[in-house]
Structure 1
Amino acid sequence: MSQTKVKKLTPEQAALIPVYRDKWREIALSPGPINRSKAAETIKAAYAIMGKKPPEIIFCDRPYEAADIIVSQLDNPKSLLRSQLESKLRGELEKKLRSYLRSKLESQLERQLQSQLEHQLYTELQSQLWGPQEEDLTREASNKLSQQFSGTGRKIHWLTLGKQIDNCIQPELLAAYGSLLDFCISVLNLPHSYGRNWIVFQSIVRDCGWIYPYDKVCVVCERPIALSADSNHRLHAEGTPAVQFADGFSIYAYHGVILPEWYGRLHPHQWQSKWVLKEQNAEVRRALIPGITYDRICQELEVRELDSWQEYTLLSIDFADDFDEEGNPKPVYLLKMTCPSTGLIHALRVPPNVRSAKEAIRWVNWGTDPEEFSVQT
């Protein structure tokens, strides 16, 4: 007789899902410096799992400095070991975990665990936190290599360079899978017989920065010495770097949007409304607006009054952060509210199809007509 599969977690087990997600997020995002001795031992153990001899291990202060090393590997793509290392390291772990989950849990519960632990954490770290950082660092690496090749007569093949830069194991993304596996071992009592694969896996996430594995050389990068994120786990800092490495290299970000240094090094209180008119990058412009606040923009920039009702005024502002299908800029509409007792001004953005102050008030208040308000606030 087949064993009855578990359809749902107990309340106590379900309550531990965010605990394990937070645990592995914290492990993955711990700032440096890394313990280079432990990292070196971990790399040697990982190569042994692949059946490879210990490589020459080179440590870099920040990821794009690996560009100085990978230039020598450009003509030998067969030496890239990222796929092989990830396959060997995770292969046994994934095989046993899948077998266990499918034999013990209903498929719906299996998908729920993968979604709430592995997939959710991976998406968060990749798209909201490390994706922007990787993009910035990749750009730095490309610029560095372009400068290095200029005047040498040697041409750089950008597709090959892309493969070289992509030959990178990011421990913080492996942490997403670690959260799922750890939960199954510790909470669901998955038989723990993974041996050195699980030990090496944990050490890579805990003790290493980004890893560029080649046949005979492995480049290991230091972690940032400082990293700051908002409550939604997006890169974010106000007036200071969101990511900073020991040698001073910094990345500035505001709620997940990478900012040029001339914006990022200033606190949003110091940002000027007129910058919104000059900024050409739409994503950066959209980040500047809430940082400056609509309230200040209403007071400091030229706006057009379209309609008013009591202490409410519908405004149109002269800059645009969106475009219609023909590529024409769309105006931005704001509902300005002036407090009768204090004179303080507050502004909210409203949809472009709003044509009157009362209609804007109705939209802000979830369809309630302003005439129905018992007390005006």
Structure 2
Amino acid sequence: MPKKFIITALTPEQELLIPVYREKWVPIAYSMAPLERDREIAAINAAYRLSNYPEPEILFYDNPLQAIRSLARVGERPHDYLGRDLNIKFSKRVLDHLTNIINRQIAFELQVKIANRMRYLDSPYYWNEENPIISSFLFESNCLREQLTIDLDRFNPELEYQHTYKFTHSITRPAAWSVHACVIDFCISVLKLEYDRQRWQAIQQLIQHCGFLMRFERVCIACPRPAKMLFDDNKQLHSDRESALEFPDGYSVYAHHGKHPDYDTYNWRTS
């Protein structure tokens, strides 16, 4: 059997298309448009099927704090009702599976080059004080998880930490995968690489039609997109004077250059 050809370099014409795909996916990553419930349900169900799990019960909440406060009270062991966290399973069976198919057809050095060119407008691609990197895509942070931890401890100290921890650390924002989807899209559309059509469609649907998700075996918790996001120059959640992220119902998250401004102090006080 002949050895498959591995792409090691881009043509000048292909190089010129990199900004086109970055400009396509950046607005998707930052979208705060209201979601369409039917499309959101279809995207969640498709992702579960591809992860080899039955379609889940889907519960909709206005924000993650509301969801956790409600579900952490379901019996003494809420995760008996929810099932195990599926984030890692989905990553392995869908996103990683698709990425591995793409990566087998392209040299590692070129993979890194394309990813860097998609994410950063200019070199250098690694931060230093003289030349800080400027990202096109949001750097996802733990600010939401940290805000939830503080608020749950403040307002619901009766809830078991081991239960609420499983909720806070299961939260994902599929739109954050846009930085990877941008590369995959370029490799499929421009380089004409082989790919898994079902998995690529499922990833696109989750990115484009879902807000924040907490995915468990039997239940998927869905919350809307943010109604507000504020950033510093390097696309980290940040605001000195107000919340940096806010849900449509007003639930707010505070951030200072990608970190919750009170979390370290909170940890020290409660440890």
Normalising by the residue count of structure 2, what TM-score does the alignment of the two structures yield? 0.75
Any stretches of 5+ residues in structure 2 without a counterpart? Answer: 126-133, 266-271
Cα 1:56–1:194 change in 2 (3 A) is same
Q: CA deviation at 1:38?
A: 0.9
- The percent of aligned pairs where both chains have the same amino acid is 28
Residue aligning to 2:17: 16
- Secondary structure at 1:212 match in 2: strand
State whether residues 63 and 222 of structure 1, in contact with CA within 8 Å, keep that contact through their aligned partners in structure 2: no
- Secondary structure at 1:79 match in 2: coil
Q: Which amino acid aligns with 2:252?
A: S
Normalising by the residue count of structure 1, what TM-score does the alignment of the two structures yield? 0.56
Cα 1:108–1:53 change in 2 (3 A) is closer
Residue aligning to 1:181: 184
Q: Which amino acid aligns with 2:150?
A: R
Residue aligning to 2:212: 210
Higher strand share: 1
Residue aligning to 1:321: none
Q: Which amino acid aligns with 2:148?
A: L
Residue aligning to 1:167: 170
Q: CA deviation at 1:208?
A: 0.5
Give the length in aligned residue pairs: 247
Deviation per CA, 1:229-288: give whole Å up to 9, x if none.
24322334575543221111223456546558xxxxxxxxxxxxxxxxxxx97xxxxxxx
Matches within 5 A, 1:54-69: 54-69=55-70
Q: What CA distance in whole angstroms lies between the structure 2 residues aligned with 1:216 and 1:144?
A: 28
Matches within 5 A, 1:1-377: 5-71=6-72, 72=74, 74-76=78-80, 79-101=84-106, 105=107, 107-117=108-118, 125-126=138-139, 130-146=141-157, 148-149=158-159, 156=160, 158-191=161-194, 193-237=195-239, 240-253=242-255, 256=258, 258=260
Any stretches of 5+ residues in structure 1 without a counterpart? Answer: 150-155, 261-279, 282-377
Cα 1:252–1:188 change in 2 (3 A) is same
Structure with the larger RCO, 1 or 2 (CA within 8 Å, 6+ apart): 2
Q: What CA distance in whole angstroms lies between the structure 2 residues aligned with 1:259 and 1:110?
A: 36
State whether residues 122 and 173 of structure 1, in contact with CA within 8 Å, keep that contact through their aligned partners in structure 2: no
Deviation per CA, 1:73-120: give whole Å up to 9, x if none.
54538532222222222243123112222xxx3x32223224444798
Q: Which amino acid aligns with 1:250?
A: S
Q: CA deviation at 1:188?
A: 1.4
Deviation per CA, 1:310-360: give whole Å up to 9, x if none.
xxxxxxxxxxxxxxxxxxxxxxxxxxxxxxxxxxxxxxxxxxxxxxxxxxx
Q: CA deviation at 1:175?
A: 1.9
